[in-house]
Amino acid sequence: MTAIFDKGDKLDPNAPEARPEPASAPLGESAPKSLLPLSALARFANVETWVFDLDNTLYPADSDLWPKIDARITLFLANLFGLDGMSSRALQKFYYQRYGTTLRGLMEEHEISSDEFLAFVHDIDRSSLKPNHSLASAITQLPGRKLILTNGSREHALRTAEKLGIHEMFEDIFDIVAADLVPKPAAATYQRFFDLHGVDPATAAMFEDISHNLVVPHARGMVTTLVVPKLGQHDHREPWEIAGAEAAHVEFVTNDLEGFLEGLIDKG
Ligand SMILES: [Mg+2]
């Protein structure tokens, strides 16, 4: 079932402000697809390229995948610097928040091998991930190209997409190595992505679980959708990662990505 929140048609300055805001909207409740706002459908009408973040977007934030990667990063730092778990964890979170990824922090402040880091932290058990047939079906039916844009590694994205049964729907994966190790939300990384894949942001949509990663996409004209956990769903992410659903650069918020996409296909 679709839970979709049109945050107001930003293209129309006269649009009413009466639509529900995600902070107060009952995220766990679902709306019939027939109630999908027309402005949403209009906003997506000219989308030719569908761009998806991977972690906590194509699989839910209550998955144990991200905590596993998180723990591997902590272990990497502990091994590298001879730190105890708590100190390692604090350093990790400092790097992550300040530089966008822990890897970027390590590269800025120390000389470490990115290949070694990426292989180590993504070496996790993905057996908890199950194929998501409805998501696969929805992505398949979207008209146009589909790409993954992730701050993780290509191999991690591939393995994870395979587990979800959605790997064949994507034309390509733009990973942190393709980004020259400069993570989202850096503007240069989006530009690199647009250039490499010949994407016109004015005819593209971006789906992300971290609000600030939608700032540049929105500024460049992409349709921006924030993917949030379902009501009551455990969320492993940091408070700063969760914040920002009300921001102006977030056009739509959904806690049901496949339902959201199905709604667009139904009406499109
Ligand atoms: Mg993510």
Q: What is the pLDDT of residues 40-91, one digit of tens each?
A: 889 999 999 999 999 999 998 889 998 999 999 999 999 999 999 999 999 9
Residue 178 has pLDDT above 90, yes or no: yes
Tell how far the Cα of 241 is from the centroid of ligand 1, in angstroms. 9
Lowest mean pLDDT, pick from 58-67, 77-86, 187-196, 248-257? 58-67
Pick the more confident residue, 265 or 87.
87
Q: Measured between alpha carbons, how far apart are the two ends of the chain, in Å?
A: 17
Pick the more confident residue, 42 or 171.
171
Tell how far the Cα of 15 is from the centroid of ligand 1, in angstroms. 30
Tell how far the Cα of 55 is from the centroid of ligand 1, in angstroms. 4
Rounded to two decimals, the pTM is 0.84
Tell how far the Cα of 79 is from the centroid of ligand 1, in angstroms. 26
pLDDT score, position 202: 98
CA dihedral in degrees (173, 179, 181, 184; nearest 10)?
A: -90
**E strand or H helix that includes residue 97:** helix 85-99
Tell how far the Cα of 210 is from the centroid of ligand 1, in angstroms. 6
Contact 193, 159 (CB under 8 A): no
Tell how far the Cα of 59 is from the centroid of ligand 1, in angstroms. 9
Predicted confidence band of residue 189 (pLDDT cuts 50, 70, 90): very high
Which residues keep their CB under 5 angstroms from ion ligand 1? Answer: 53, 55-57, 209
Tell how far the Cα of 14 is from the centroid of ligand 1, in angstroms. 33
Tell how far the Cα of 188 is from the centroid of ligand 1, in angstroms. 18
Q: Residue with structure tokens 């496949």? A: 258
Q: What is the DSSP letter of 109?
A: H
Class of domain 4-63+131-267 as given by CATH = alpha beta
Contact 163, 132 (CB under 8 A): no
Class of domain 65-121 as given by CATH = mainly alpha
Q: Do 65-121 and 4-63+131-267 fall under one CATH topology?
A: no
**Token representation of residue 3:** 């839970």
pLDDT score, position 25: 38
Tell how far the Cα of 57 is from the centroid of ligand 1, in angstroms. 5
Contact 1, 259 (CB under 8 A): yes
Query: Residue 174 pairs with which residues in a beta bridge?
Result: 149
Tell how far the Cα of 183 is from the centroid of ligand 1, in angstroms. 12
pLDDT score, position 34: 41
Top-confidence range, 29-38, 91-100, 163-172, 230-239: 163-172
Q: How far apart are CA 211 and CA 249, in angstroms?
A: 8
Tell how far the Cα of 213 is from the centroid of ligand 1, in angstroms. 9
Domain ranges of the chain: 4-63+131-267, 65-121
In this structure, the strands spanning 4-6 and 49-52 are unpaired
